[in-house]
Amino acid sequence: MFLLASDTCACPLLLPSHLPSCSFSQFFTAPLFTPEGTDRELRAVDSENSKNLQSDPWRMRQLVKSTSTSTHPYHKYGTGNLDTLLHTPKQKNIDVRKELLAFHKKYYSANLMNLVIVGPQSLDELQKMAEGMFCDIVNSDLEAPTFEGEPVAEADLKQIIRCVPVKESRSIEMTWYLPSSRPHYRTKPQAVASHVLGHEGKNSLLSILKEKGWANGVVAGAGEGGSDFSSFGLGIELTEEGFEHWEEVVEASFQYLALIREGGEEQWKWICDEVKNTWDTSFRFLEKGAPETWAQQLASRMHIYPIEHVISGPYLITDVNMQLVADLFGRLTADRVRMLQVAPELESVCTSTEHWYGTKYHQEQLSAVFLEKLRTARPPETMVLIQPNPFIPSDFELREPDADASKYPVEIVSTDTWRVFHKLDDKFKMPKLNVMLEIQTPVAYESPYAAVYTKLFTQLLKEELNEFAYDAEIAHLNYTIDSTAIGFNLMVAGMHHKLPVLLSEIVRVMFNFEIKSEMYARVHKSVARDYRNFMFEQAYQHAMYKSGVVQQAPRWMYEQYVTIIDDVTMEDVQAFIPRLLSRAYVLGLVHGNATKEEATAIVKGIQDVAKIRPLMDGEHPHRRVAIMPTEKPTLLARTHADPEHCNSASEIVFQIGMEVNMKRRVSLDLLSQIISEPFFNQLRTKEQLGYITHSGKLRDYTGIESYIFLVQSSSHEAKYLTWRMNLFIDNQALNILKELSEEEFNSHRDSLIVKKETKDKSLADETARYWVEVSKHLFRFDIAQQEVELLRKSVTKQDLIDIFCEYVAVGAPKRRKLVVEVEGKIAPGEDG
């Protein structure tokens, strides 16, 4: 169950065979709200809230809400904590359980609720189940709540709120509060505004600001809203220089708005038509998602759209209405704007403290002189609008497989520098194609400096390509480039028609790359900031990261990157690029709407540009893992790098071994399924240790299998979390396995079989599954079938007990145990 701004959505995920006997409906017909359950859940809410106290997105969102109109619901605190849910009600003699029951009675009426059931049964069967399970929900014939007034009063417009972030970031965000956009879902004027203002290609607002060295990114689009209001935002990620010139950045934004408003009908028509085209294509070739996601989306949409448009409403633009677009831009004025400025440099002026998150801020009116500049802003002659998109696809023809086509990827290129597999899509019938490349080179991670050089290279390359590739992204054609411990990955995915054009240009720029000094300055600062900001991540993320540092060899540390990056020059990176690219080994997969001949031609095209020489024997990079000792556990304890971080975390890792043992692999999956729920129930539900509680098998990119237990808490020290997890592992887990009845074991096994037999929901899902096998050099493309066969015929309860006793239990002969503790700031008296 989760909460939205005006909705509550509950969505259990069941095996199809369990649907007829589901007791889910009783929550709505006969809720218990037991005192124990109420206390447990309010503490879970507090734990989730504590997890987000140092999260900038949560802090900024609440700051905007807290400074809005105090009489409007938008102003309210968005989550909850022990003060609001326990201590304050006690002081006021309020019975929280009674309030919950009253709230349930007041709002949980059948006429305000939507029900969506997604299952393999026929529609008639699903309808019969729905009527049988949910017909007892009382219909009190209530009216849906409405909220009078504006979320932001007239007096709070033409304001700027300045605040200090936890992580190092600089931005200026302009927000306009508008009438609800829901009546215009068929024309979507905000989609057109988002397209033009959020564009990143040539002649865009971002392009102008980047040329001046003032911005790294821009985001534009619909913000928070509902049935009574909507909002539109334009957010700009600033460089340090951009922060110094923030008024000029805002002025340039209003000049661009003026340019848009002055555009003639001919200009507007092609922009509106192009937006309609891309949205229509997105809907036409929309792939299936997870059934629980589909159910959640439909249930929420039924409150917004007429039933005949519940599926198409968020996607299709059925009418191009240029007047509505013009009206929207007419509302994006200086007199209706509210700004949020974020930067660490603002600390001296931010003397107020937001109540819920403790964010330091200052609120003031924009000066009359500055407002007049924005009102009268006009575009300079050099400022022109974006151009038509050359990547809009027009070829949607599907390739047909040969009669003898393989069920799995087959090798189409094999040389001393390239090995590429291909699979023509024969399941999803979409004009989409995915190309995955892993460029393996020993110099990419040979030292901390090399790792930083490689990271800077990939980020600089993306920056160089951004204006060209952004049009492709709008046309549903995306790419990613990421550095790794053995080189870097290049992945291109989307509509097949123009994909070879994008891929060829990426490779051409990559192998002929000359760094521009002004670009290097911006990217270098951005990467350095990202390295520093990692220190502010959640405690559990630090625990998992540190466990990787301990186990993987080599594994350089962020602390090293932070120390050296300021010394790295543009000349260093430029000199490193030929070393990085001259000799390598490339693994690849081409999967989707391309024949073998087309896939081979795509590879040949990039081979002609990428003149890669082969690696020598012994030079191929490998991912290695340090084997933990069996004599005693290995402990790594660290204090969180952020002294204000209020969460602690502990991760316990049991190394199992290489994942080549298929029976052990699938047995670990089953063991994980059986143990995870009791672990969660004991440590989170009963002991209330923390919101983040997880256990299960882990298969990382090294090909090593491990079994992990992880807890993050805002109320207990890391060593206490370790102690409680050890009690469960050493005293309960084995008994859970031993006491499992044959019926229970069979039920878990059958459930896992259903999961492994579940068909891929999209081409991307199938590609990801194949790519795991290619990137690990295992090539077990039918692994799911092998696992199901083993589950049905070979895996027994005793196998699970044997694995636990061999690798996990106290005294196990192969117990290789690693404990990583990250200590945060614990409130006085909470633990010890």
Which residue is it, tokens 């009253």? 102
The span from the first CA to the last CA of the chain, in angstroms, equals 33
Select the more confidently predicted residue: 544 or 226: 544
pLDDT in tens, 317-356: 998 888 899 999 999 999 999 999 999 999 999 999 999 9
DSSP state of 145: P
What's the pLDDT at 130? 86
pLDDT in tens, 528-580: 999 999 999 999 999 999 999 999 888 899 999 999 999 999 999 999 999 99
What's the pLDDT at 831? 53
pLDDT in tens, 615-671: 998 899 988 889 999 989 999 999 999 998 999 999 999 999 987 789 999 999 999
Indicate the pLDDT class of residue 828, thresholds 50, 70 and 90: very low
Mean pLDDT across 512-532: 96
CA distance 715 to 722: 14
Q: Is 688 left (phi over 0), alpha (psi -120 to 50) or beta?
A: left
Mean pLDDT across 751-762: 92
Residue 277 contacts residue 392 (beta carbons within 8 Å): yes
CA distance 795 to 666: 8
Mean pLDDT across 78-89: 92
Indicate the pLDDT class of residue 15, thresholds 50, 70 and 90: low
Mean pLDDT across 242-266: 93
DSSP character string of 306-331: -GGGTTTTTT------HHHHHHHHHH
pLDDT in tens, 490-511: 999 999 999 999 999 999 999 9
Give the percent of the chain with pLDDT over 70.
Answer: 98
Indicate the pLDDT class of residue 448, thresholds 50, 70 and 90: very high
199 burial class (0-12, 13-18, 19+ CB within 10 angstroms)? buried
What are the distances in angstroms from CA 677 to CA 629, 664, 728, 758, 775? 29, 21, 12, 21, 32
> Is residue 827 pLDDT above 60, yes or no?
no
Indicate the pLDDT class of residue 105, thresholds 50, 70 and 90: confident
In single-letter form, the type of residue at position 689 comes to L
Select the more confidently predicted residue: 704 or 811: 811
What's the pLDDT at 227? 83
Residue whose C-alpha is closest to residue 182's, from 158, 157, 156, 146: 146
CA distance 659 to 669: 12
Indicate the pLDDT class of residue 701, thresholds 50, 70 and 90: low
SS3 725: helix
Residue whose C-alpha is closest to residue 657's, from 648, 644, 667: 667
Mean pLDDT across 460-475: 96
What's the pLDDT at 660? 78
What's the pLDDT at 36? 87
Give the up-direction half-sphere exposure of residue 659: CA atoms within 13 A in the CB hemisphere.
Answer: 24
Phi, psi angle pair for 369, to nearest 5°: -65, -45
> Is residue 815 pLDDT above 50, yes or no?
yes
What's the pLDDT at 832? 43
Mean pLDDT computed over every residue of the chain: 93
Q: What is the largest CA-CA distance in the chain?
A: 79
Mean pLDDT across 135-164: 90
What's the pLDDT at 131? 87
pLDDT in tens, 773-814: 999 888 999 999 999 999 999 999 999 999 999 999 999 999
> Is residue 18 pLDDT above 80, yes or no?
no
pLDDT in tens, 172-195: 999 999 999 999 999 999 999 999
C-alpha of 715 from chain center = 27
DSSP state of 61: H
> Is residue 60 pLDDT above 60, yes or no?
yes
Mean pLDDT across 189-209: 96
Mean pLDDT across 591-609: 96
SS3 341: strand
SS3 433: strand
CA distance 124 to 130: 10
DSSP state of 802: H
Q: Which long-range contacts (CB under 8 A, 24 or more apart) does 298-307 make?
A: 298/114, 298/116, 299/9, 299/11, 299/114, 299/115, 299/116, 300/4, 300/7, 300/9, 300/114, 302/114, 302/116, 303/7, 303/114, 304/182, 304/185, 305/185
pTM assigned to the model: 0.92
Question: Which of 80-84, 127-131, 235-239, 305-309 shows the lowest mean pLDDT across its residues?
Answer: 127-131
Residue whose C-alpha is closest to residue 764's, from 421, 436, 462, 292: 436
The strand ranges marked E within 375-509 are 410-414, 418-424, 432-440, 477-484, 487-495
CA distance 584 to 574: 18
CA distance 623 to 70: 56
What's the pLDDT at 683? 96
Mean pLDDT across 106-115: 89
> Is residue 452 pLDDT above 50, yes or no?
yes
Select the more confidently predicted residue: 727 or 7: 727
SS3 383: coil
Indicate the pLDDT class of residue 1, thresholds 50, 70 and 90: low
